[in-house]
Amino acid sequence: MEKVISKDGTSIAYEKLGKGPALGALCSRAFGPMSKLSQMLAEHFTVYIYDRRGRNQSGDTKPYNMERELEDIDALIKMAGSPVYIAGVSSGAALALEAVAKGLPISKLAMYEPPYVVGAGGHEPPADSKERMMKMLESDKRGAMVKFFMHDMIGMPAFFTAIFPLMPVWSKLKAVAHTLPYDISIMADYRVPAERASSIKIPTFVMGGGKSPVSLKGAVKVVAEAIPNCKMSMLPGQTHNVSNAVLAPELIKFFIN
């Protein structure tokens, strides 16, 4: 584990592995798909996997602002050197889109299911999601925060959230529950930022799961239509919790070609 200092002085923890063009992965080194996924990608790329601020071993300078997260990415890019590719899953995909739209020196962008809300009929997060989340945080109800985020905001089935506490990842999710309001800030009103997306000129690939909720699949389609010359793919049999064994070959093919 190494560290880079962001513009506001926050220490951002990261790991570097592999050889080849630099590839940044957005999530956390402690949980999520990126830890194992980075090992699959390291044969082809120099992979930088980092802890987003407030998570694991990265700092958490207050107050939070999405711009600071973009500065974290910029600090990592300057350390890695060009050319840089970026890959993000869920809210990390939305953050990656914002980084590219802001003009950070990124050569290719890959996203898996940025959780925007599209049209009627699909799942929509409660309008007061951030306020409810902050109340739970004030009472240190971390488990309730994770369940609320997964079920009420993302739209995962109640059965899935009910068994979550039995899964090995549960303790890691609770440990970063205080950063869930950060993800809500990144997503803003959960609408596709079509104007910023349309400004993206680099090669872009957006993916979704064939078995994901209709709202997430709809978001993938709208994002792909908003970005000029964007490639899109629905991965058969996949959900929001995408398999690394399925996602890795798609990323490798896109970034190498």
Q: What is the pLDDT of residue 74?
A: 97
Give counts: helices (H), strands (E), the chain: 11, 8
- Residue in this structure with the two tokens 């629905």, named with its chain if needed: 234
**Three-state secondary structure call for residue 3:** strand
User: What is the percentage of the chain residues whose pLDDT exceeds 70?
Assistant: 95
pLDDT surpassing 60 at residue 162: yes
Q: Which of 95-109, 179-193, 195-209 has the lowest mean pLDDT?
A: 179-193
Which is higher by pLDDT, 232 or 155?
232
Q: What is the pLDDT of residue 133?
A: 93
Residue type, 164: F
- Cβ distance 66 to 92 under 8 Å? no
Tokens of 54: 């407030």
Give the tens place of pLDDT for each residue, 62-79.
999 999 999 999 999 999
pLDDT band at residue 159 using 50, 70 and 90 as cut-offs: confident
pLDDT surpassing 80 at residue 29: no
List the alpha helices (DSSP H) in 81-213. 91-101, 129-138, 142-147, 158-163, 170-175, 180-187, 194-198
Q: Which domains does the chain have, with CATH numbers?
A: 2-120+190-256 (3.40.50.1820), 129-183 (no CATH)
Q: What is the pLDDT of residue 115?
A: 87
Q: Provide DSSP, 68-103.
A: HHHHHHHHHHHHH-SSEEEEEETHHHHHHHHHHHTT
CB atoms within 10 A of CB 128: 10
Q: What is the pLDDT of residue 21?
A: 85
pLDDT surpassing 80 at residue 33: no
How far is residue 257's CA from residue 41's CA, in Å, rounded to a whole number?
14
Which is higher by pLDDT, 225 or 189?
225
pLDDT band at residue 121 using 50, 70 and 90 as cut-offs: low
pLDDT surpassing 90 at residue 88: yes
pLDDT surpassing 90 at residue 213: no
pLDDT surpassing 70 at residue 27: no
How far is residue 101's CA from residue 119's CA, in Å, rounded to a whole number?
23
pLDDT band at residue 122 using 50, 70 and 90 as cut-offs: low
Quote the Cα angle for 147-149-151, to 5°: 65
pLDDT band at residue 32 using 50, 70 and 90 as cut-offs: low
